[in-house]
Amino acid sequence: DFPVVTIPVYVHVIYNTSQENISEAQIDSQIQVLNDDFRMTNSDSNQIPTEFADRAADTQIQFTLAGVTRTFSERTSWGTRDDMKRSSQGGVDPIDPANYLNIWVCNIGGGILGYAQFPGGSLDTDGVVVGPQFFGTQGYLAAPFNEGRTTTHEVGHYLNLRHIWGDGRCRQDDFVADTPDSDRANYGCPSYPTNHCKSNDMTMNYMDYVDDACMYMFSNGQKLRMRAVLEPGSIRSDL
Ligand code: ARG
Ligand code: ZN
Ligand code: CA
């Protein structure tokens, strides 16, 4: 077992419309979802099929809100080139990214819910970006991505997780032994069992592409992969 790790979080709200200037309650609701999902206290974990039940993990990673910044911008969408992370581009620089998870909440555009930087990238752009209407569970939200799972998914990437299907064909690995092979993303709310690559897909994993209401677990193997980057001497050990 591992000691519980608590990751402090800065949230940078960058808004053009007043709706995009999301409330403190909306931010708090997202921190709550992160804690529930990573500690497996999410109320929908009872939907995990028996086949996968003993692989479901309490990652022993939790989150606490360290602070919020709010910045008005004339810009209406930010894309995925990290401009929101640079004050020189009208964005907001990350605060102490070696020691804090930075989350920028701003309109990305192009139908993109969120994106993340994997461990090992430049500290100047380290963290995750999520659109305001996909952040948290109350306030300015857009179904079916209104249960805070976009941030759970992006923080999974930030802690080194790949998509469950390995972004390729059946044998393309996500480097996690207990997540079954798949050759595609799943969308919507797939019924169980959904079978590709001669085994049942773990469609209810946070690292698939299903609707928020239909993802409710990390696996033990994913936990080990995330915990590895938090170990002393590893890449995110200062968090
Ligand atoms: N497309 C994004 C990514 O690959 C996030 C997908 C989040 N899915 C969700 N159901 N909230 O990082
Ligand atoms: Zn992803
Ligand atoms: Ca796997």
pLDDT tens digits, 130-184: 999 999 999 999 999 999 999 999 999 999 999 999 999 999 999 999 999 999 9
CA distances in angstroms from 65 to 3, 8, 24, 47, 118, listed in the order given: 20, 6, 11, 29, 21
Contact 191, 172 (CB under 8 A): no
Residue 213's pLDDT band (boundaries 50, 70, 90)?
Answer: very high
Q: State the ligand closest to the CA atom of 220.
A: 3
| ipTM of predicted complex | 0.94
Classified as helix, coil or strand, 207 is: coil
Position 105 pLDDT exceeds 80: yes
Which numbered ligand comes closest to the C-alpha of 209?
A: 1
Nearest CA-CA partner of 201 in 157, 150, 161, 165: 165
Mutate which of 153, 155, 206 for ligand 1 pocket (most atoms within 8 A of beta carbon): 153
Residues with beta carbon < 5 A to ion ligand 3? 174, 176, 179
Task: Give the whole-angstrom CA distance, residue 173 versus residue 166.
Answer: 5
The whole-number average pLDDT for the span 78-89 is 98
- pLDDT given for residue 232 in this prediction: 92
Measured CA distances, 189 to 21, 105, 142, 212, 224 (Å) = 30, 26, 16, 9, 27
Q: At residue 114, does pLDDT exceed 90? A: yes
Quote the ligand 2 centre to 164 CA distance (angstroms). Answer: 9
